Amino acid sequence: MTEEKQYASFMERIRAGEKIEATDWMPIEYRKLLIKLIHMHAVSEIMGAYPEKEWVPRAPSLRRKLAIMAKVQDEMGHGQLLLRVVEDLSAPLGRTREELVSDIYHGKVKFHNVFHMEARTWADAGVIGWLVDGAAIINQASLLETSYGPYARVLKRICAEESFHMQHGENIILALAMGTDAQRQSLQTALDYWWESLLFFFGPQEVTPAAKQMMHYQIRLKTNEELRQKFLDKYVPRIQSLGLTIPDLSLRYDDSQKKWRYQAPDWHKFSQIVTQNKGPKSEERMLLRKKAHEDQQWVREAMRNHNISISSAL
Amino acid sequence: MQNNQNDVYEVFVQKSHAEQHQHVGSLIAPSPDMAVQMARENFLRRDHAVNLWVVPQSQVTSSTYGGRFFAREMDRGYREVKGYTENGRLWRMFREKVMTLEEIVAFVEEKERGETEGGER
Amino acid sequence: MNNINDLRYREVLIECLYQMADDKLLLGHRDSEWLGCCPDIEGDVAFSSIAQDEVGHATFYYQLLHQLGEDDPDRLAFGRDASKWRNCMLVERENDDWTYSITRHLFFDQFDQIRLQAMCTSSYEPLQHGVKKMIREEYYHLLHMKTWFKQLGRAGGVATQKLQQAIEKLWPDVNGMFSFAGIEEDLLRFELIQLTPTEMRVKWEAEMKALFQQANMSWPGEFPQLKHDGRKGEHSAALKTLLLTMGEVYQSEPSAKW
């Protein structure tokens, strides 16, 4: 079959809603878009473990300690599942786990803006668990229908585990909202700090060429703005019901347009954070990943060496 | 295995003795031992299981996806329940109802359960 | 025969539970510091489960203590002065490299397995009940640590050197695990435990010697005498720092619900 015919029958399958599998023929553009998206997703899970990891040693009760450990562990686990999907996609390009991880601290892969930010208080950890995860869940749920089978299957598992994360985050927030004045104040401060990041999380309002192509291939099915609107739909009423003030006086629901009107985040500032790794915590957390990966290469090698010695002994 | 990369292992979980092993995903590990140990936590943090397999991905032989390999085009109603819908009508002529396997299973299981309870007493 | 209303019985039981609880919480806490920092992603996930198990076991012991009239579990974990902690020194030490954490865990898990087995017929039924469950969970920990230890030991090169250093660094802390701070005779008399500390150490040595051999590691010899006994509340600066971190949020408002 010529490349053109292969492409035509591939697009036929996409349009028919069929799932594409790792071993199927796919246009290189499709493969690269998938790698870009899922690599960023995987790395965001792994880097997303760090802000909350900082609060694992300080969690204020035994139950919270266990829960936040389990949650951070799940993030790492999601990173693992997603990395496996990228690894299979990248294998024909000769790329492996070692590189896909070192890409993080070589600045070759981006991760979500929220994970470049500081987690300064326990309330920040709570807001991350509630709203950052909330935003991530909306994003991930929108990808469940993606055209790439292995990604869809892994997302199904991830979303199932996110349902625990949702409850975990809400539980922390509810305790703070029902707590002392100082606790409520710290919750408000956390919301003030995170709000802009949360709006930026979904990405620019305009549909970029890459996003357009992802929709063409049905890798993604919803635009950034559609997802941001869904987030606002779900969370604005809940935030307000807790008596918290959203730090955006212009925020309102436009009945005629059936849309939320909001003060746009500082697109430029956050783009810099994501593309240049210039957030308050970018460098520190990338260094953590580098130490974990590069400084412990000897451990991974030792485990392999052992393997060789055993097989040669047989 | 002799290069500078770890192997990929496909992971299969058997959730209960009544079920077969099911594929749940894959992981990277330095040895089969480690693959089994890591699989427990990477895939069974919440679920219960009775057994786990790991298989080097390189050892998996796969069919192609979709299309011809799985083609079953002609009528195979003769080997399926739905090919025998007329039984219902035929039984009615004998003033009887059609029986289903589920019905028999439920009937038998209930009976057996009754017997054990009786035995224990 | 053994009466919970007997003052000494109660006292000894409580002391013993503190030793077990504090060991577990600190080990779990140190483990959790590895989150996101393990040598590989899969191993990170596996290690975190072990950390959670340890904290879970500690929680169980603190609940038993609370039932015996001690403070509520969170206060015991987050609001207690270092001098009140009864853990052995081994578990409070700061993390070092991966070989140190693996070896420490291995040493402790082997000890813990022996201690738990010696309590399977404990005269205090709630403890006996929990111990049986914990032994089942600990099986995986020991298996996992032994696999790491053997493979690191046999690898040669940097890994084996570092493993050797880790063993040497940990060796002075081994004896501390077997200290019961003076309650050992009463523990036996009340049938709370079935083995003397010396018997436990003999078992530990036998198990570890066999493993060292499989891992091609040489046995460092006698255990040095204890300088400080954590079980008597003698602790290092590392514990004080750990407790400050661990209690930071809790102590910012101890009466609040978190």
Within a domain: B68: no
Tens digit of each residue's pLDDT (9 = 90 or more) over A37-86:
999 999 999 999 999 999 999 999 999 999 999 999 999 999 999 999 99
d(CA A86, CA A73) in angstroms, rounded, equals: 20
Q: Please state the length of chain B.
A: 121
d(CA A309, CA C153) in angstroms, rounded, equals: 12
Within a domain: B116: yes
Contact between residue A66 and residue C59 where contact means Cβ atoms under 8 Å apart: yes
| Interface residue B9 vs chain A (CB under 8 A) | no
What is the per-residue pLDDT for A310?
42
Within a domain: B95: yes
**Looking at chain A from residue 106 to 165, which residues have their Cβ under 8 Å from any Cβ of chain C?**
122
B11 and B54 together in one domain: yes
What is the per-residue pLDDT for A141?
95
Contact between residue A75 and residue A56 where contact means Cβ atoms under 8 Å apart: no
| Interface residue A156 vs chain B (CB under 8 A) | no
d(CA A166, CA C195) in angstroms, rounded, equals: 47
Interface of C with B (CB under 8 A): 40-43, 45-46, 48-49, 140, 143-144, 147, 151
pLDDT, average across residues A133-149: 95
C49, B41: Cβ pair inside 8 Å?
Answer: yes
What is the per-residue pLDDT for B112?
55
Binned average pLDDT, 10 residues per bin, chain C of 258 residues: 83 98 98 97 96 97 98 97 98 98 98 97 96 93 96 95 98 98 96 97 98 97 94 98 98 93
Give me the number of domains chain B comprises. 2
Question: Residues 6 or more apart from C61 whose CB is under 8 A from it?
Answer: C17, C18, C20, C21, C24, C130
d(CA A177, CA A167) in angstroms, rounded, equals: 15
Contact between residue C197 and residue C48 where contact means Cβ atoms under 8 Å apart: no
Question: Residues 6 or more apart from C140 whose CB is under 8 A from it?
Answer: B37, B40, C50
A303, B31: Cβ pair inside 8 Å?
Answer: yes
Q: Report helix, strand and coil shares of chain A as percent, to nearest 5.
A: 70, 5, 30
Domain CATH number, residue B25: 3.10.20.520
What is the per-residue pLDDT for B1?
39
Q: Report helix, strand and coil shares of chain B as percent, to nearest 5.
A: 45, 20, 35
Residue B19 domain boundaries: 7-59
Distance between start and end Cα atoms, chain A: 47
Helix (H) or strand (E) holding C1: none
Amino acid letter, B116: T
A62-90 helix and C41-67 helix, angle to the nearest 10 degrees: 170
To the nearest whole Å, the CA of A219 is away from the closest chain B CA by 19
Domain boundaries, chain A: 3-313
Contact between residue A202 and residue A231 where contact means Cβ atoms under 8 Å apart: yes
Tens digit of each residue's pLDDT (9 = 90 or more) over A18-35:
999 998 999 999 999 999
B115 and B91 together in one domain: yes
What is the per-residue pLDDT for A110?
96
What is the per-residue pLDDT for A311?
37
Tens digit of each residue's pLDDT (9 = 90 or more) over A233-275:
999 999 999 999 999 999 999 999 999 999 999 999 999 999 9
Helix (H) or strand (E) holding A275: helix A267-276
Pairing of strands B7-14, B22-29: antiparallel
To the nearest whole Å, the CA of B68 is away from the closest chain C CA by 38
**SS3 assignment, position A285:** helix
Binned average pLDDT, 10 residues per bin, chain B of 121 residues: 75 94 96 94 93 95 82 82 88 89 82 49 35
What is the per-residue pLDDT for A308?
45
Instruction: List, edge to edge, every strand of the sheet that includes B51-56.
Output: B22-29, B7-14, B51-56
Handedness of CA C239, C240, C246, C250 (dihedral sign): positive
pLDDT band, very low/low/confident/very high, at A313 (cuts 50, 70, 90): very low
The per-type count for chain B, helices as H runs and strands as E runs, is: 3, 3
**Looking at chain C from residue 96 to 135, which residues have their Cβ under 8 Å from any Cβ of chain A?**
98
Question: Residues 6 or more apart from C17 whose CB is under 8 A from it?
Answer: C61, C64, C65, C68, C127
Chains with 3+ CB–CB pairs under 8 A to C are: A, B
d(CA B36, CA B33) in angstroms, rounded, equals: 5
**Looking at chain A from residue 41 to 60, which residues have their Cβ under 8 Å from any Cβ of chain C?**
46, 49-50, 53, 55-60
Chains with 3+ CB–CB pairs under 8 A to B are: A, C
d(CA A173, CA A125) in angstroms, rounded, equals: 9
Could you say which architecture CATH assigns to the domain A3-313?
A: Up-down Bundle (1.20)
d(CA A54, CA A118) in angstroms, rounded, equals: 10
d(CA C198, CA C204) in angstroms, rounded, equals: 10
Within a domain: B64: no
Contact residues, chain C, for B38 at CB < 8 Å: 42-43, 45-46
A303, B34: Cβ pair inside 8 Å?
Answer: yes
- Domains delineated in chain C: 7-218+235-251 (1.20.1260.10)
User: Widest CA span of chain B, in angstroms?
Assistant: 74
d(CA B111, CA C115) in angstroms, rounded, equals: 48
Question: Residues 6 or more apart from A98 whose CB is under 8 A from it?
Answer: A293, B4, B5
Q: How many CA atoms lie within 13 A of C188 on its CB side?
A: 10
Amino acid letter, A296: Q
- Candidates A48, A83, A108, A101; CA nearest to A277 is A108
A299, C157: Cβ pair inside 8 Å?
Answer: no
Whole-complex ipTM: 0.96
Q: Which of B30, B33, B45 sits opposite C49 (nearest CB)?
A: B45
B48 and B11 together in one domain: yes
d(CA C146, CA A157) in angstroms, rounded, equals: 31
d(CA A115, CA A118) in angstroms, rounded, equals: 8
Q: Which residues pair with B54 in a beta bridge?
A: B11
A70, B45: Cβ pair inside 8 Å?
Answer: yes
d(CA C122, CA C194) in angstroms, rounded, equals: 8
What is the per-residue pLDDT for B113?
55
Q: How far is CA A121 from the centre of its chain?
A: 21
To the nearest whole Å, the CA of A9 is away from the closest chain B CA by 13
d(CA C237, CA A312) in angstroms, rounded, equals: 47
B14 and B55 together in one domain: yes
